[in-house]
Amino acid sequence: MSRIALVLGAGLGGTVAAQTLRSLLPQGDRVVLVEREERHIFPPSLLWLMVGERSADALDLRHRLVAAPDHSE
Ligand SMILES: Cc1cc2nc3c(=O)[nH]c(=O)nc-3n(C[C@H](O)[C@H](O)[C@H](O)COP(=O)(O)OP(=O)(O)OC[C@H]3O[C@@H](n4cnc5c(N)ncnc54)[C@H](O)[C@@H]3O)c2cc1C
């Protein structure tokens, strides 16, 4: 029977957790990563904004597929 692993929050922790689960769980299991925001700002990048090295737009990363099925097995 296949299972579903649900990860809430696609920040650093959630993204790594989802990717790790994807690589560890059998192919038949699903990993679902749920994020409430449409965009993500990588917090350490705020330092670049602060010193004027990056624009706010450049830090705005739309969520992408981060836990694609691993067919390596
Ligand atoms: C300026 C700055 C510099 C930093 N530099 C470093 C560094 O050099 N090295 C380092 O290790 N750390 C650094 N950090 C800290 C690091 O960025 C954070 O520790 C890390 O981002 C926390 O990740 P997280 O996944 O726990 O939380 P977050 O990245 O905050 O992710 C949580 C996610 O969960 C989502 N969420 C919340 N509630 C829900 C819900 N109910 N349903 C769905 N989604 C939900 C949020 O929208 C968010 O996207 C820095 C932070 C800042 C601000």
The two tokens of residue 40 are 């993500």
pLDDT in tens, 9-21: 988 899 899 999 9
Would you say residue 49 lies in a domain? yes
Pocket of ligand 1 (CB under 6 A): 8-14, 34-37, 40, 43-44, 46-47
On the question of pLDDT at 57 being above 50, the answer is yes
71 in any annotated domain: no
Ligand 1 atom nearest the C-alpha of 12 is 25
Q: State the alpha helices, DSSP H only, in the chain.
A: 12-24, 46-50, 56-59
Q: Provide the pLDDT for residue 51.
A: 97
- 64, pLDDT greater than 90: no
In a domain, 13, yes or no: yes
Q: How many domains does the chain have?
A: 1
* The pLDDT value given to residue 73: 47
Is the residue at 72 inside a domain?
no
Distance 49 CA to ligand 1 centre (A): 17
Asked, for residue 8, whether it belongs to a domain, the answer is yes
Mean pLDDT, residues 22-50: 91
- Asked if the structure places residue 67 within a domain, the reply is no
- Judge if pTM exceeds 0.85: no
Q: Which domain holds residue 24?
A: 4-62
Q: Per the domain annotation, does 55 fall within a domain? A: yes
Residue whose CA is closest, atom 50 of ligand 1?
A: 44
> What is the distance of C-alpha 43 from the center of its chain?
14
